[in-house]
């Protein structure tokens, strides 16, 4: 073989060596085209989580609001920040700007008598209560909530659970919208501070410190506390004097009315259950991933 042939072979191999990285990029799978963010981290719980964090919202710049390692202490701190925002607003029926800003656009709320509702429907419902006679900030101005038994969900590291008890003094009137019932406070000399029974609550967060799922009102002991077996808002109403028999005897009717509320469009009668299409994608995927077989 002549020297000229060897030179051509060498040049050919060198040319292939130079362009091979480019050829590799051009032939790569589309799923690998995007370069992942430095903040990206795959969840270790992808088979069982309700929510799998993929990447941090780049619009969030405050370092303390970003985490890829949701430790127990971190989730407790975030949850207490949310609870403080609710307290500062004046109770659960007042959704301040500070509270709304801590709710993810994909937020879902659920209690035994309300939900699942989307963020917009939740805010509309609370505003409806507040401006139609059921303002807890006026009825129970010293309302507080205490939490005990914190524990991080072993199946979802972004979710934390706690046992809650509400305490306060009923000093102002409270009306139940649409029922015609008004709960008036007792004589000031007879007023006593109440404490509801233990109820289980959960808070599901995303990496940008946004609350994505909140559950309340699931009573652990119906024989403890002034709520007499009822939690969340119902437990507060019973503590303020609403006969438990009213809730128990009207439960079926109220549940049916709540289900049909998803078809309403009027702001004067807000939804207690959101239409299926209004709930976020992660909620729909719970069923397909065999994590929730309801709705």
Residues of the chain with pLDDT under 70: 1-67, 265-268, 289-295
Closest C-alpha to 236, from 150, 163, 174: 174
Each domain of the chain, given as residue ranges in start order, spans 63-280
For strands 103-110 and 211-219, give the pairing. Answer: parallel
pLDDT at position 189 is 86
Cβ distance 139 to 173 under 8 Å? yes
Which residues have CB under 8 Å from 141's CB, separation 6+?
90, 168, 169, 171, 172
H or E segment to which residue 119 belongs: helix 119-130
pLDDT at position 292 is 57
Reduced 3-state DSSP string for 60-89: CCCHHHCCCCCCHHHHHHHHHHHHHHHHHH
Phi and psi at residue 232, in whole multiples of 5°? 55, -135
pTM to 2 decimals? 0.75
Max Cα distance, the chain (Å) = 114
Four-way CATH pick for 63-280: 3.10.450.50, 3.90.1150.10, 3.40.950.10, 3.40.50.300: 3.10.450.50
């Amino acid at each position: 073989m002549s020297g000229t042939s060897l030179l051509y072979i060498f040049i050919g191999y060198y040319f292939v060596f130079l362009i091979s990285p480019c050829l590799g990029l051009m032939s790569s799978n589309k799923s690998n085209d995007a370069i992942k963010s430095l903040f990206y981290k795959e969840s270790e719980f992808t088979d069982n989580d309700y929510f799998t964090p993929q990447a941090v919202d780049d619009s969030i710049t405050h370092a303390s609001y970003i985490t890829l390692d949701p430790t127990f202490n971190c989730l407790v701190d975030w949850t207490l920040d949310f609870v403080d925002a609710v307290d500062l607003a004046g109770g659960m029926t007042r959704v301040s700007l500070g509270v709304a800003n801590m709710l993810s656009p994909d937020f879902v709320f659920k209690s035994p008598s309300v939900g699942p509702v989307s963020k917009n429907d939740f805010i509309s419902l609370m505003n409806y209560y507040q401006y139609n006679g059921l303002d807890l900030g006026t009825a129970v101005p010293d309302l507080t909530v205490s939490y005990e038994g914190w524990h991080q969900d072993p199946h979802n590291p972004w979710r934390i659970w706690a046992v809650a008890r509400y305490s306060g003094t009923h000093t102002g009137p409270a009306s139940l919208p649409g029922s015609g019932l008004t709960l008036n406070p007792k004589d000031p000399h007879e007023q006593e501070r109440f404490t509801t029974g233990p109820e289980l609550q959960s808070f599901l967060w995303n990496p940008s410190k946004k609350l994505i799922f909140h559950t309340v009102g699931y009573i652990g002991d119906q024989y403890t506390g002034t709520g007499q077996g009822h939690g969340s808002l119902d437990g507060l109403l019973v503590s303020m004097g609403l006969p438990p028999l009213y809730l128990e005897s009207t439960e079926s009717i109220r549940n049916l009315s709540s289900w049909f509320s998803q078809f309403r469009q009027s702001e004067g009668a807000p939804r207690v259950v959101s239409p299926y299409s209004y709930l976020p994608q992660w909620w729909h995927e719970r069923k397909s991933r065999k994590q929730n077989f309801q709705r």
